[in-house]
Amino acid sequence: MAPHAGTGVLPPNEKRAYVRAMFSAIARRYDLLNSLLSLGLHRRWKRYAADLAAPPRGGVAVDVCCGTGDLAFLLKERVGPTGRAMGVDFAGPMVELACNRAKGVRGLWFVQGDAETLPLPDRAVDAVTVGFGVRNLAEVERALREFLRVLRPGGRLVILEFARPRSRLFAALYDLYSFTVIPWIGRRLSHHPDAYLYLPVSIRHWPDQEEFAGLLRASGFCRVQVRDLLWGAVAVYVAERPGREGVP
């Protein structure tokens, strides 16, 4: 299964199955691929996202599309020994690797699940983070509403995501890197011919920063901020659940 030729668009259920299969295939080399493809910057960006999420000591935080758990571990550091952090990912092998890393860490756990149906009750967490995973979701708007549902009033959502660079020259270089270097490296290190084909397509179809900020507001979030990283190629979105129902 692969994105439809020329569009990169799949129906939600097919996209979910396709992305889950791709990430399951590359799980054991996921951290190495991330380091190489981001030139090591992804760890710095995730630390920045955890700082912006700012869950309180003793609080509860969840990282969605957690991969092997980097951002969830950072959230656990911030909530402290009495707080709880959770990672959710749609790829079983990713969750297995994260669970192995978390052995012996109290108050940190990982589960398999979809972002559109989080295994959490209403108003259960102080912070939700997503590190480079929203573009892979089957139903983005439904997932955003789910993030809002599980956040407590005043709770914060922080999303790291690729974006379209603002400079035309950098955008051209970015396309070259996305459509040639990333698939080439991904293919050879993952030993899976289609493992990184989804990435350049998903980047090309990702909305610009203002468009996605508007989607956050339309989903019910307030205090939406957008911060550019890497000359606009990466964006950080920060938003909050209103403190009272319908009141910013």
Residue 247 lies in a domain: no
pLDDT of residue 127: 98
Residue 188 lies in a domain: yes
Residue 248 lies in a domain: no
Count CA atoms closer than 13 A to 15's CA, side-chain side. Answer: 19
Residue 4 lies in a domain: no
What lies within 8 Å, CB to CB, of 26 at 6+ separation is 33, 186, 190, 192, 195, 196
Residue 2 lies in a domain: no
Q: Can you give the CATH number for the domain in which 139 is found? A: 3.40.50.150
Radius of gyration for the chain, computed over Cα atoms and rounded to the nearest angstrom: 17
pLDDT of residue 7: 35
Regions of the chain short of the pLDDT cut 50: 1-8, 246-248
- The total domain count for the chain is 1
Residue 49 lies in a domain: yes
pLDDT of residue 167: 83
Which pTM value belongs to this model?
Answer: 0.88
Residue 234 lies in a domain: yes
pLDDT of residue 200: 61
pLDDT tens column, 52-91: 999 999 999 999 999 999 999 999 999 999 999 999 999 8
pLDDT tens column, 3-36: 333 334 567 777 777 777 777 777 777 777 777 7
The domain of 62 spans 12-240
